[in-house]
Chain A
Amino acid sequence: MIVAAAVIGPQNQPLYLATFVGEDDAARLSTAVHCSLDAVEERVGAGLRGTAPGDAPDAYMGLLATEGELRLYGYATNTRSKLVLAVDDPVIKDDELRAIFRRMHAALVDALSNPFYQQGTPLTSPRFDASVRTIATALGAS
Chain B
Amino acid sequence: MERLQSVKAQLQRAHCPCVMVLAAPEVEAACLQRNGLSFAELLRPFGVIRQLNGSVGVPVRTPAEHPLRLHSWRLRFYAAQTMFQPSPEAADAHLRGVVSSAAADCGSSEVLELDELVAAAGRRDTAGATPWFPAWRREYLRLMQFGEHETLDHPVACVLALPADAAGDLAAVFGTLWHQAPLPPLMQAGVMEAAGVLRHYVLVHDAASMGPEVLAAAQEKLRVLAATLGSSCQLLSINSGGGGAPVGPRLWADALHGCLPGGGGGEPAERPPAPPGGLGAALSEADMSALATFVHELAARHVIPHLEGRVRALNVQVTANRKGLKNQLKSLLWRKGSSSSSSGTAGAGGTPHESPRGSAPGTPSAGAAAGAAPAVASYVSGSVESHMRQLSDLALMLGDYETASATLRLLASDTKADRAYKAYAGVQEALGAAAVLAGAPPAEAAASYKEAFYRYSQLTQANPVNRQGVRYATRAALLLAEFLRGQGMHGDANWAYMKAHFQEDALRAGLLLEQAAHCLLALAQAHTRKFAFHLVLAGLRYDMAEQKGLAQRAYRQVMGIYSGKRWALIEEHLHDMLGRQARDAGDAPAAARHFMAMLACPQASPFCQRLYLTQFMEALQAAQQQLGFPPVLDLPLPAVNCERVGVQHDGQTCYSGVEARQVTGEQWKALEGALAPSLETHPSGSWLDGGSRPRLSDGEEPAARTCCVGEPVGLDVELANPLQLDLSVSHLRLVCSWEPAPGSARSPDGPPAAAVPGGGSGSSTPRQQQAQQGFQVHEEGVTLQGGERVVVHLRVVPLRPGTLQVAGVAWLLNGTAHGQAAFRIPRPRPRKPGSSSKVLIDAAAPAPGGIAFKVLPPMPRLEVSVSGLPPTLLAGEVAQCTMRLRNSGAMTLQHLSMAAALGGGGAAVFLGGPPGGTAAAAAAAAGGAAVDGVAAAAAAQPAGGRGTPPSRSPRASLDGALLQLTASFRQGAAVFALPPAVRLGVGQELTLPVWCRAPQAGTAHFALAWRYEPLVKLDALAYRTVRCAQSVESQPSLQLGARLTAGVPGCAPGGCLLQAQLRNAAAEALAVVGLACPSAAWRLAAGGAAGLGDGSMQVGSDASAALHCQLVPAGDAAPAAAAAAHDLAAAAVAADSSSSGLSEAEAGLLEMSRRVAAALPKHLQPPAEQQQQRQKERQRRRQQREHEGGTDVVVLWQARSRDGGMPRRGFCCVHNQRLHAAPPIDAQLRGPASLEHDFGAAPLCVVPLTLQLRNTMAAPAAVCIELGKAADGQPSPVGVPTWAPAAAAAAAGGAAVQPAPSSSASGTPAVQGALPAVRQHAWCGRTRLTLPTVAPGEVAEVALRVAVTRPGKLSLADCLVFWHYAGPPHITGSRAVPPHYCSVAPAQPPLL
Q: A residues within 8 Å of B by Cβ?
A: 12-14, 26-27, 30-32, 34-35, 37-39, 41-42, 45, 65, 122
A38→B491 CA distance, assembly (Å):
13
Query: Total A-B pairs in contact (CB under 8 Å)?
Result: 43
Once A26-B569, A30-B570, A31-B536 are accepted as A-B contacts, the answer to whether A37 and B525 lie under 8 Å apart by CB is no
**B530 contacts across to A, CB distance below 8 A:** 35, 38, 65
Determine whether the beta carbon of B569 is less than 8 Å from that of A30.
yes
Name the CB-closest residue of B to A11: B565
Q: Which residue of B lies closest to A13 (CB)?
A: B566
Contact A37 B529 (CB under 8 A): yes
Contact B566 A31 (CB under 8 A): no
CB <8 Å contact, B536 and A38: no
Contact, CB under 8 Å: A34 / B525:
no
8 new A-B contacts, CB < 8 A, other than A27-B569, A27-B570, A38-B530, are A12-B565, A34-B529, A37-B529, A38-B520, A38-B528, A41-B525, A42-B525, A42-B527
Q: 26 pairs across A/B with beta carbons < 8 Å?
A: A13-B565, A13-B566, A13-B567, A14-B567, A26-B569, A27-B569, A27-B573, A31-B533, A31-B536, A31-B569, A32-B533, A34-B529, A34-B532, A34-B567, A34-B570, A35-B527, A35-B530, A37-B529, A38-B525, A38-B529, A38-B530, A39-B527, A41-B525, A42-B527, A45-B525, A65-B530
Q: In the complex, which of the residues B528, B565, B566, B573 has the most CB atoms of chain A within 10 Å of its own CB atom? A: B566
Distance from A120 Cβ to chain B, minimum over Cβ atoms (Å): 9
A42 to B532, CA, bound (A): 17
Q: List the 10 closest pairs (A to B, CB-CB), nearest first.
A: A38-B527, A30-B569, A13-B566, A35-B530, A27-B569, A35-B533, A38-B529, A35-B529, A38-B530, A34-B529
Chain B residues contacting A122 (CB-CB under 8 Å) are 566
A30 and B529 form a contact (CB under 8 A) = no
Contact of A31 among B520, B525, B570 (CB under 8 A): B570
Distance between Cα atoms of A38 and B562 in the complex (Å):
14
Instruction: A12 to B561: give the CA distance in the assembly, Å.
Output: 12
- Return chain A residues, CB-CB under 8 Å to B569: 26-27, 30-31
Residue of A nearest to B530 (CB): A35
Is the CB–CB distance between B567 and A30 below 8 Å? yes
Which B residues have a C-beta under 8 Å from some C-beta of A?
520, 525, 527-530, 532-533, 536, 562, 565-567, 569-570, 572-573
CA distance A30 to B603 in the complex (A): 13
Instruction: List, in ascending order, chain B residues with CB within 8 A of A34's CB.
Output: 529, 532-533, 562, 567, 570
In the complex the two chains form, what is the Cα distance from A27 to B573 in whole Å? 8
Q: In the complex, what residues of A have CB within 8 A of residue B529's CB?
A: 34-35, 37-38
Which residue of B has the minimal Cβ distance to A12? B565
In the complex, chain B residues whose CB is within 8 Å of the CB of A38: 520, 525, 527-530
B contact residues around A45 at 8 Å (CB)? 525
Query: How near does chain A come to B531, taking the closest CB pair, in angstroms?
Result: 8
A129–B738 alpha-carbon span in the complex (Å): 51
Q: Does A14 contact B536, Cβ atoms closer than 8 Å?
A: no
Main secondary structure of the interface of B (DSSP, over half): helix
Chain A residue at minimum C-beta to C-beta distance from B605: A23
Determine how close the nearest CB of chain A comes to the CB of B536; give it in whole angstroms: 7
CB-CB under 8 A from A14, the residues of chain B are 566-567
Once bound together, how far apart are the Cα atoms of A77 and B533, in whole Å?
Answer: 25
Chain B residues positioned under 8 Å from A35 (CB to CB)? 527, 529-530, 533
Alpha-carbon distance A129/B528, docked complex (angstroms): 30
Q: Which residue of B lies closest to A26 (CB)?
A: B569
CA–CA, A23 and B525, complex, Å: 33
Taken together as a complex, chains A and B put the C-alpha atoms of A12 and B532 apart, in Å, by 15
What distance in Å separates the Cβ of B845 from its nearest Cβ neighbour in chain A? 12
Task: Give the distance in Å from the alpha carbon of A37 to the alpha carbon of B567 in the complex.
Answer: 13
Q: How far is the CA of A37 from the CA of B528 in the complex (A)?
A: 9
Whole-angstrom distance between the alpha carbons of A45 and B520 in the complex?
A: 17
A11 to chain B, nearest CB (A): 8
Q: Quote the shortest CB–CB distance from A64 to chain B (angstroms).
A: 11
> With a CB–CB cut-off of 8 A, which chain A residues contact B567?
13-14, 30, 34
- In whole angstroms, how far apart are the Cα atoms of A97 and B573 in the complex? 31
Q: Which residue of A lies closest to B533 (CB)?
A: A35
Roughly how many angstroms separate A27 CA and B520 CA in the complex, as a whole number? 22
Residue from A31, A42, A122 with most neighbouring chain B CB atoms (10 Å): A31
B502: nearest chain-A partner, CB-CB: A68
Smallest distance from the beta carbon of A42 to chain B beta carbons, Å?
Answer: 5
Contacts of B527 in A (CB 8 A): 35, 38-39, 42
Complex interface: chain A residues within 8 A of B525 (CB): 38, 41-42, 45
Cα distance, A37 to B566, chains bound together (Å): 14
Write the nearest CB–CB distance from A116 to chain B, whole angstroms.
17
Alpha-carbon gap, A107 to B527, bound state (A) = 30
Taking CB atoms, residues of chain B closer than 8 Å to A41 are 525
- Per the bound structure, the CA–CA distance linking A27 and B572 in Å amounts to 9
Contacts of B520 in A (CB 8 A): 38
Look across to chain A and name the residue whose beta carbon is closest to the beta carbon of B528: A38
How far, in whole Å, are A65 and B495 apart by their CA atoms in the complex? Answer: 13
Residue numbers in B under 8 Å from A13 (CB-CB): 565-567
**Bound Cα distance A122, B527 (Å):** 25
Residues from chain A with Cβ under 8 Å of B573 in the complex: 27
Give the most central of B520, B527, B562: most A CB within 10 Å: B527
What CA separation (Å) do A70 and B626 show in the bound complex? Answer: 46
- Bound CA–CA A27/B566 (angstroms): 13
A85 to chain B, nearest CB (A): 17
Inter-chain CA distance A42–B566, complex, in Å, is 21
Shortest CB distance A2–B (Å): 19
* B528 neighbours in A (Cβ, 8 Å): 38
The smallest beta-carbon distance between B898 and chain A, in angstroms, is 41
- Give the complex CA separation of A13 and B533 in angstroms: 16
Complex Cα–Cα for A28 and B1050 (A): 97
Residue in chain A with minimal CB distance to B520 = A38
**Using Cβ atoms and an 8 Å threshold, which residues of chain A touch B570?**
27, 30-31, 34
Q: Shortest Cβ distance from B270 into chain A, in angstroms?
A: 45
Q: Which residues of A contact B532 (CB under 8 A)?
A: 34
CA separation between A56 and B566, bound complex, in Å? 33
Q: Tell me the bound Cα distance from A65 to B533 in angstroms.
A: 13
Q: Which residues of B contact A65 (CB under 8 A)?
A: 530
Chain B residues with CB below 8 A from A42, complex form = 525, 527
Most buried by A among B520, B527, B533, B569: B569
Q: How far is the CA of A31 from the CA of B525 in the complex (A)?
A: 19
Give the distance in Å from the alpha carbon of A65 to the alpha carbon of B567 in the complex: 19
- Which residues of chain B are near A37, meaning CB under 8 Å? 529
- Inter-chain contacts of A31 with B (CB < 8 A): 533, 536, 569-570
Closest to B576 in A: A27
- For B525, the closest partner residue in chain A by CB is A42
Residues of B with C-beta under 8 A to A26? 569
Smallest Cβ distance from A17 to chain B, in angstroms? Answer: 8
How many Å from the CB of A97 to the closest CB on chain B?
22
CB nearest to A37 among chain B residues? B529
A68–B992 CA distance with the chains assembled, in angstroms = 83
Closest to A30 in B: B569
- C-alpha gap A65/B529 in the complex (Å): 12
How far is B492's CA from A121's CA once the two chains are assembled, in angstroms? Answer: 38
When chains A and B are docked, how far (Å) is the Cα of A13 from the Cα of B567?
7
- Taking CB as reference atom, which chain B residue is nearest A36? B529
Determine the distance from Cα of A38 to Cα of B118 in the docked complex, in whole angstroms. Answer: 14
Docked complex Cα distance between A66 and B530 (Å): 11
Candidate in B520, B525, B572 with the most chain A CB atoms within 10 angstroms: B525
User: Chain B nearest CB: distance from A31 CB in Å?
Assistant: 5
Shortest CB-to-CB span from A126 to chain B, Å, is 16
The smallest beta-carbon distance between B1122 and chain A, in angstroms, is 68
Task: Name A9's closest neighbour in chain B (CB-CB).
Answer: B566
Smallest distance from the beta carbon of A13 to chain B beta carbons, Å?
A: 5
- Give the distance in Å from the alpha carbon of A94 to the alpha carbon of B431 in the complex: 41
Residue on B with the closest CB to A45?
B525
Closest beta carbon of chain B to A28's beta carbon, Å: 9
**Docked pose: A34 CA to B536 CA in angstroms:** 13
Residues from chain A with Cβ under 8 Å of B566 in the complex: 13-14, 122
Min Cβ gap B1380→A in Å is 55
Name the A residues within 8 Å of B533 (CB-CB).
31-32, 34-35
Across the interface, name the chain B residue whose C-beta is closest to A42. B525
In the bound assembly, the distance between CA atoms of A37 and B532 in angstroms comes to: 12
